[in-house]
Amino acid sequence: KYFKYAIGEILLVMIGILLALQVNNWNENRKQLKQQDFLFTQLLSDTKADSVFFKSRLLGLEILDSTLINIKQFGMDSTLNISIINTNGTGKVLPIIAFRYASNLLDNNPNAYQELLDNEIKDMLRDYNAKYSYVSPQFLFLNTLLEKNRDIISRRYYKELRENKRTKSIKTLSTIYKDVELQSDIDNIRIAIEEAHRRTNEFMGINKNMDEALTNRLN
């Protein structure tokens, strides 16, 4: 009788322990899922921010390229109407003198790869980083060319540019646009623009895939 009673007590204790472990595991899983959901939400927000930001980079590249084409044409034929060259009312030689190109997703979530449990999202994040690693040096190279050109022009046409800070007149820039060195540099800058545009478009593809995958996980 006592033996049966002891066995029953042991079984009850074991059942209690198993239930406690089950509840603990359930709580841990629930906590883990909440952490993953929070991480997905943060990644999705930064992915959307990257989408808006890099679309503006694409637009900026197109505006700059269009301006360079017009400057090239004006340099070869000064009878063209100078107003075709758009400097966005800045009075500067070019409408854009440098591009920012940082990724919100990668900068704001440096530990995301280690924290993610979803293997598909982890693979996407690795590809995201790889695509961005081709974008950043292209913008860096383009900015270097633009800075070099700006320094040369600034030294050579200091007086005209200083005056144009006040007047912001496109006509004041007409002499600069005919500059032989500027005309020569335009070709190199346009090649860099084309490559930055191509790499950014590739990056936008993985950005779209990441957006869709994260949205699906959260839904």
Whether pLDDT at 175 is above 90? no
On the question of pLDDT at 201 being above 70, the answer is yes
**What are the structure tokens assigned to 106, written together?**
């990668």
pLDDT at 27: 65
DSSP, residue by residue, 75-114: HH-TTS-GGGS--TT--SSSS-S------HHHHH-TTHHH
pLDDT in tens, 26-55: 766 777 788 999 999 999 999 999 999 999
pLDDT tens per residue across span 59-106: 999 999 999 999 999 888 878 888 888 887 777 899 898 999 999 999
- What is d(CA 182, CA 153) in angstroms, rounded to the nearest whole number? 8
Mean pLDDT of 135-144: 97
Rounded-to-integer distance, Cα 203 and Cα 214, Å: 17
| Contacts of the segment 59-67: beta carbons below 8 A, 24+ positions apart | 60/96, 60/99, 61/99, 61/193, 61/196, 61/197, 61/200, 62/197, 63/95, 63/96, 64/94, 64/95, 64/96, 64/193, 65/190, 65/193, 65/194, 65/197, 67/94, 67/95
Given this model, what pLDDT does residue 24 score? 66
Give the residue carrying structure tokens 């007149």: 169
Tell me if residue 170 falls in helix, strand or coil.
Answer: coil
Contact 214, 43 (CB under 8 A): yes
Half-sphere exposure of 215 (CA within 13 A, CB side): 8
Of 61-65, 113-117, 119-123, 171-175, which gets the smallest average pLDDT?
Answer: 171-175
Mean pLDDT over each residue of the chain, to the nearest integer: 90
Amino acid at 78: S
| Token couple for 60 | 């900026």
Q: Residue 203 — pLDDT band, cuts 50, 70, 90?
A: very high
Burial class (CB in 10 A: 0-12, 13-18, 19+), 146: buried
Provide the pLDDT for residue 118.
94
pTM score of the predicted model:
0.83
pLDDT above 90: residue 199: yes
Q: Does residue 13 have a pLDDT over 70?
A: yes
Q: What percent of the chain has pLDDT over 90?
A: 63
Mean pLDDT, to the nearest integer, of 103-124?
A: 96
